[in-house]
Amino acid sequence: MLKSIIVTLILIGSGFFMSAFLVGYPVAGKKYISKQREKRKSLRYGSAYFIGGARGFRGGK
Amino acid sequence: MSGNDDVKSMKCAACGGDITKSYRIVDEDEEIPIARCVSCGTEYDQYTGEYYRYFADDFTYDKDNSILKLGLKGVLDGIEYEIIGRIRMQDEDEYERSTWDEWLAVSSDGVYHYFVEEDGEIRSYEEYVPQSINLEASDSHIEFEGKKISKDEAYIGRIVYFEGELTWLPEIGEAVTCYDFKKDGYKFTIEQSENEVSITRGDKLTYREIIDAFGDDEDRKLYENTMKKRREFRNKALVYLAGALLALAFSIYSCSTSEEIKGVMAGKKAIADNKIITDKRSVNYFSQILYGPFEISGGESLYDVDVFIDERVQRLYLEWQSFRFMLIKEDRLSRIINNNYDAELLKGLFTEIDARKEPIESYVITGDFWDEKGVDSDGPWHESDLNASASFVLKEDGKYYAYLELYSNKPRKIDSVKFRVQKVKSYRYMIAVTVLLLILVVINRGKSSLYNELPFEIADE
């Protein structure tokens, strides 16, 4: 009984913590910009990344 | 007297040949067991007495797994009973074992009494003389003390085993038509065989009553342990259920709480409108629109962006359109373009946006809308996808622009693609917690019914 109460509290607590601190979601803003900046440093003009237009799966049609 | 003598050496009623186990295919692919004569091929299915004589072992292998046995004496409600006989019946409609035992007891004052044991439950029955009964009241029903009972409710039991002293001489495979019904708070059973009708009235007994009457100290100890563990599992299931409901309530609250950011499409600058892009294979159309600025506030929060086709503006029919949505901070854009929002300047900037070493956008979402039709083995189909959405966390408050880039194989009105931005609460983890807790509820609920230290089945009480 006590074990089940502890398990329930741990599960709900974990769920609440991850919901409150938005764990696992992509982050926009400064974090995104710095990640993109690092990514672009390693790319050269003319690589696939620089091909214009939308990036959907239809884009290559 | 015992029921299963020489059943395996039985011969075919038609030709005297040997009988062997066989199968019959029903409902296209279901195999049901039957007995078949190896000489003349006569088949004996579950609607024949021979079937039960041949397959008797399959219906009786667990006949000793019971607290009751011949010769056992016990006191129930102050009356002493002695078990003197037993019949085991099998439901004729079932191919698998579906049996119940009718234990005949005689009380100290010489009255016959029945204990009917089925699926871990025991009912106590006594013979009953009704004020009126008509088993042939009509083609569709029988009548019992003014109560009409449909003949459709009848089921056939087949005797598969008997032992001890009984009030009549049964035969293995003998069919008994049974009616079970409730009246005046009691459960009645009418059993009608070829030459006999028996009417009994009874009530359910708890296993504690049966064990107190017929069991020994070891049975009582195992019963107490079993009930204690079952209670523990049941209480655990209740705790998990309470947790699951709490997590579900939190999920529903989070799911239903959203705040739409107003005016995200209020300011619109069309930088390019269906510009023709040609390559060796096709001609496509390219549009660029800058919306905003609009205010996003509220600290670190989760946002949902929904981008969708508004078919009231233009239907998407057998075509495709890709989009790229960028969220751009106003002060960042203003600094780069020196506060000059000239369309040509913006066009140049956004055309080369991917080539910039320093990113302008705070976030990007891409997706596709499509509408297709065709024909497959199920016939013609027509499907489309007109919505796309994504979630992200944004920490910085302030004014933002939304830059929308559209690419399609046909000219499309730029106003047909719309978007909304909503501040939402995360609920996916609480949904996962709800599911996990519900799984624990099911596991513990199952254990609370099945846990058993006794050597015979007892139902959940």
Which residues in B lie closer than 8 A to residue A8 (C-beta atoms)? 239-240, 242-243, 437
Nearest-by-Cβ selection for B322 from A32, A36, A54: A54
Is residue A56 assigned to a domain? no
Residue B442: the pLDDT is 98
pLDDT digits (tens, 9 = 90+) for B258-283: 999 999 998 999 999 999 999 888 89
Shared-domain flag, residues B74 and B211: yes
pLDDT digits (tens, 9 = 90+) for B404-423: 999 999 999 999 999 999 99
Is B253 touching A (CB cutoff 8 A)? no
Shared-domain flag, residues B227 and B91: no
First-to-last C-alpha distance (Å) of chain B: 35
**% chain A with pLDDT above 90:** 43
Q: Name, in order, each residue with C-beta under 8 angstroms of B434's C-beta and a sequence gap of 6 or more.
A: B244, B247, B248, B251
Shared-domain flag, residues B106 and B73: yes
Is B19 touching A (CB cutoff 8 A)? no
A8/B281 touch (CB, cutoff 8 Å), yes or no: no
Shared-domain flag, residues B77 and B182: yes
Is B17 touching A (CB cutoff 8 A)? no
Is B233 touching A (CB cutoff 8 A)? no
The total number of structural domains in chain B stands at 3
Structural domain harbouring B296: 258-424
Shared-domain flag, residues B395 and B287: yes
Does the pLDDT of residue B2 top 60, yes or no?
Answer: no
Q: Tell me: ipTM over 0.95.
A: no
Is residue A51 assigned to a domain? no
Lowest mean pLDDT among A46-55, B3-12, B263-272: A46-55
Shared-domain flag, residues B230 and B276: no
Cβ atoms of A30 and B396 closer than 8 Å: yes
Is residue A21 assigned to a domain? yes
Calculate the average pLDDT of chain A. 78
Nearest Cα of chain B lies from the Cα of A38 at a distance, in angstroms, of 9
- Confidence label for A49 from pLDDT (cuts 50, 70 and 90): very low
pLDDT digits (tens, 9 = 90+) for B151-190: 999 999 999 999 999 888 888 999 999 999 998 888 999 9
Nearest chain B Cα to A34, which residue? B359
Is B128 touching A (CB cutoff 8 A)? no
Q: Which of B285, B360, B363 is nearest to B324 (CA)?
A: B363
Calculate the average pLDDT of chain B. 91
A58/B247 touch (CB, cutoff 8 Å), yes or no: no
Which residues in B lie closer than 8 A to residue A11 (C-beta atoms)? 243, 247, 433, 436-437
Shared-domain flag, residues B329 and B374: yes
Q: Which of B95, B98, B196, B182 is nearest to B145 (CA)?
A: B182
Is residue B157 assigned to a domain? yes
Helix (H, G, I), strand (E, B) or coil at B72: coil
Is residue B457 assigned to a domain? no
Q: A interface mutation test: which of B275, B393, B404 has the most A CBs within 10 A?
A: B393
Q: Name, in order, each residue with C-beta under 8 angstroms of B417's C-beta and a sequence gap of 6 or more.
A: B307, B308, B309, B310, B321, B323, B369, B404, B406
* CB neighbours of residue B362 within 10 Å: 26
Shared-domain flag, residues B395 and B280: yes
CA-based diameter of chain A, in Å? 64
Is residue B51 assigned to a domain? no
Is residue B30 assigned to a domain? no
Nearest-by-Cβ selection for A56 from B303, B322, B354: B322
Structural domain harbouring A18: 2-44
φ/ψ bin of B311: left (φ > 0), alpha (ψ from -120 to 50), beta (otherwise): alpha
Is B72 touching A (CB cutoff 8 A)? no
pLDDT digits (tens, 9 = 90+) for B52-86: 999 988 999 999 999 999 999 999 989 999 999 99
Shared-domain flag, residues B204 and B109: yes
**Inter-axis angle of helices B217-256 and A2-20, nearest 10:** 10
Nearest Cα of chain B lies from the Cα of A52 at a distance, in angstroms, of 7
Nearest Cα of chain B lies from the Cα of A46 at a distance, in angstroms, of 9
- Confidence label for B142 from pLDDT (cuts 50, 70 and 90): very high
Shared-domain flag, residues B368 and B279: yes
Is B323 touching A (CB cutoff 8 A)? yes
Shared-domain flag, residues B283 and B241: no
SS (H, E, C) B141-175: EEEECCEEEEHHHCEEEEEEEEEECCCCCCCCCCE
- The mean per-residue pLDDT over the stretch B131-151 comes to 90
- Confidence label for A58 from pLDDT (cuts 50, 70 and 90): very low
The total number of structural domains in chain A stands at 1
| SS3 of chain B: helix, strand, coil, percent, to 5 | 25, 45, 35
Secondary structure E strands in A7-46: 27-28
Does the pLDDT of residue B383 top 80, yes or no?
Answer: yes
Is residue A6 assigned to a domain? yes
Helical (H) or strand (E) element with B210: helix B207-214
Shared-domain flag, residues B274 and B389: yes
- The mean per-residue pLDDT over the stretch A41-58 comes to 51
Q: Name, in order, each residue with C-beta under 8 angstroms of B272's C-beta and a sequence gap of 6 or more.
A: B286, B287, B288, B347
Is residue B9 assigned to a domain? no
- The token duo for B34 is 């039957």
Is residue B396 assigned to a domain? yes
Nearest chain A Cα to B247, which residue? A12
B239/A5 touch (CB, cutoff 8 Å), yes or no: yes
- The mean per-residue pLDDT over the stretch B195-219 comes to 89
* Unique residue bearing structure tokens 């024949």: B48
Q: Name, in order, each residue with C-beta under 8 angstroms of B395's C-beta and a sequence gap of 6 or more.
A: A27, A28, A29, A30, A31, B299, B300
